[in-house]
Amino acid sequence: MGGVDKGALHYRGVPLLERSLRAVRGATRVVVVGGTAPGADLRARFADHSRALLLHTAERPAGGGPAAAVAAGLSALSNDDRTAASTIDLIAVLACDVPGIEEGFTRLSEVDGPAIAVDAEGRRQYLLARYSRRDLVTRLDGDPSGWSMRRLVDGVELAEIRIDAPDVDTWEDAERLGVEPGASPSPSRSARRAATSASLQKPR
């Protein structure tokens, strides 16, 4: 899509990144990975609906792939508060280019424990999922640059939940799904947001 910041695209008047943040408003900590940090306006709107601490980081190297983005998100959680991070059981990993992410994650959250969305063709949606923190930490021993999410979580037991939540990979997808440029779209490739990694409250 020409390096456009997909998180800044709008669906029904709301930026896609903001929709991903809304989906995890019940988290204790949220990390946006990649690109520039969320602006003051977005932070304020998020704070109106969530008590979660909103953090930002970037994968190293830039463009290192989704597994590297997850590693960066986990590192940011630990660096913020290592003791608190160690008590987190589940990590939600969400893309920022899914118009229906709020409804999709609500559906995913209806089941306990690690779970992953599966589309109509049976394909796992690795960036609409909830993983065990321990599983992710164990598998991120080493440099995950260039790894796919499939490689990262291969063999991890996940409940599969049928969810129809297509992402935006092309302008044709955007038109079909009703996604439009925002008032001030940023075409900078460096502004790409890879994923939103959220630490969920420990289940009671």
The pLDDT tens digits of the residues spanning 100-113 come to: 999 999 999 999 99
Q: Phi first, then psi: what are they for 96, rounded to 5°?
A: -115, 20
pLDDT given at position 87: 74
Mean pLDDT over all residues of the chain?
87
Strand 90-94 to 195-199 pairing = antiparallel
Q: What is the pLDDT of residues 72-101, one digit of tens each?
A: 999 998 887 765 666 789 999 999 999 999
**C-alpha triplet 17, 63, 149: angle, nearest 5°:** 75
Look at residue 204 and tell me whether its pLDDT is greater than 80.
no
Look at residue 200 and tell me whether its pLDDT is greater than 50.
no
Q: CA-to-CA distance for 77 and 197, rounded, in angstroms? A: 9
- Calculate mean pLDDT across residues 180-199: 53
Window from 33-42, 82-91, 115-124 with minimum mean pLDDT: 82-91
Strand 29-33 to 53-57 pairing = parallel
Torsion angle of the four alpha carbons 55, 134, 6, 180, in this order, in degrees rounded to the nearest 10: -100
pLDDT given at position 78: 86
CATH of region 6-199: 3.90.550
pLDDT given at position 63: 85
Q: What residue type is 191 in one-letter code?
A: A
Domain extents in the chain: 6-199
pLDDT given at position 5: 87
- The whole model's pTM is what? 0.86
Q: Phi first, then psi: what are they for 24, rounded to 5°?
A: -110, 30
